[in-house]
Amino acid sequence: MTISIINGHILRSGASDAEMGSVHIEGGHISETALSSAGQTINAQGMLVAPGIIDLGVFATDKPAFRFGGITRAALMPDQSPVHDDPATIRFAALKGKPDFWVHPLAAATQALNGQHMAEIALMKEAGALGVATGRHWIGDSGVMLRIMQYCAALDLPVFVHSEDRGITGDAVATSGPTATLLGLPAAPAMAEAAAIARDLLLTEYSGARVHFRQVTTAIGLDLIRRAKQDGLRVTCGITPAHLFLSDNAVSDFRTFARLSPPLRSEEDRQACLAAIADGTIDVIASGHNPRGPEDKRLPFSEAAPGMAGAETLLALTLNLVRDGHIDIGHLFRLVSANPAQILGLNAGSIEAGKEADLILVDVDAPWQVDSAKMAAVAGNTPFDKLPVQGLVRKMMKGGKVID
């Protein structure tokens, strides 16, 4: 089938802003020229036509939430039950959601994510893994981590790392500072993140691996990433909206929905994160989607499980970065679509000839209110509950097929 999307503000690859025009699709891919054969016509009615979001590092396959948020693909973390540490679990995960939603599983770096024994990475790559991840935890054994990086460099697989030195954080649930002290919460200094990043950058330089630091949330950690990029290391880094729009003040009333990993940081670190978005140090904004039910969240703060349901709010929250003048709309979709596609090696993530037609039509000014009780996700554990936002996905296409 051939499809033409007309009367839309088209956000083409490399553009800083969207321009009124049309997009043509043939054989599930973006066509370079207008189509000669008759086919379906979709009137975008002035809405933004943008590439589908590629959510880099989710903890659950939650199709209703992804559909609401305009997410057409997601890289699934290996922290599952059972852990994705063998080819069979990778193959099974890759089938979830198809054909209208694609899951790209990340392989566990170590068996059972125990940080000790390297998993069968090559076999998992053959089974469909597009990257290797350490999961929710940092691997403390530098020898193990070096071998993982060297092996992944030889296989040309990106390594996704969690950056918190567990020797420093221990059982901490908050960042050291006035808020944690006032609440009496177990806390660790923010430099635990930088300590982990510094070691892994040394290993990256030695091994030549491609490394993605999944969440970098502190000024000192971002400075290390910035310097590593200047030195030519093959590193990228990401963040979630929570660390861009919330500081540790959000846990002041022991709100477990704001219990995250890494924990929320100081206002100074939050401002540094916004600056790193603007100057290009941060490459990816991901939802960190991790729905947690009452059994995990309705507990004392120190006992509650970390995580937030983020898929539905990712686009609406990050559009605020454009409205507030931090970045333009083109930069935003590089952060949520084009850059994740490049890291995973996907032929998607931008509107240009030959790319897969994964597209969303967005009413960028449509107002709505985040409501944890009404979310499409398996659980509505969002720290943005009752926040008024703007931006709704009105239509989605996966591989040129309209998803109802």
Residue 187, Cα to own-chain centre: how many angstroms?
A: 26
* pLDDT of residue 99 exceeding 90: no
Q: According to the model, what pLDDT value does residue 39 have?
A: 82
Distances (CA, A) of 101 to 53, 67, 95, 97, 401: 11, 8, 9, 5, 11
Q: How many helices (H) and strands (E) does the chain have?
A: 14, 19
pLDDT at 202: 98
Structure confidence by residue, pLDDT tens digits, 45-82: 999 999 999 999 999 999 999 999 999 999 999 999 99
What pLDDT, in 10s, does the model give residues 187-240? Answer: 999 999 999 999 999 999 999 999 999 999 999 999 999 999 999 999 999 999
Say yes or no to pLDDT of 32 above 80.
no
Closest CA to 400 of 20, 99, 104, 128: 99
What are the residue ranges spanned by the domains of the chain?
51-349+364-391
User: How far is it, in rounded angstroms, from Cα 30 to Cα 39?
Assistant: 14
Domain 51-349+364-391 architecture? Alpha-Beta Barrel (3.20)
Q: Is the pLDDT of residue 378 over 80?
A: yes
pTM of the model as a whole: 0.96
DSSP code string of 113-143: G-SSSB--HHHHHHHT---EE-TTS----HH
Q: Phi/psi zone of residue 299: left (φ > 0), alpha (ψ -120 to 50 degrees), beta?
A: beta
Mean predicted lDDT score pLDDT of the chain: 96
pLDDT at residue number 404: 76
Bridge partner list, 21: 8
Q: What secondary structure letter does DSSP report for 218?
A: S
Chain centroid, CA 391 distance in Å: 18
The helix/strand/coil state of 305 is: coil
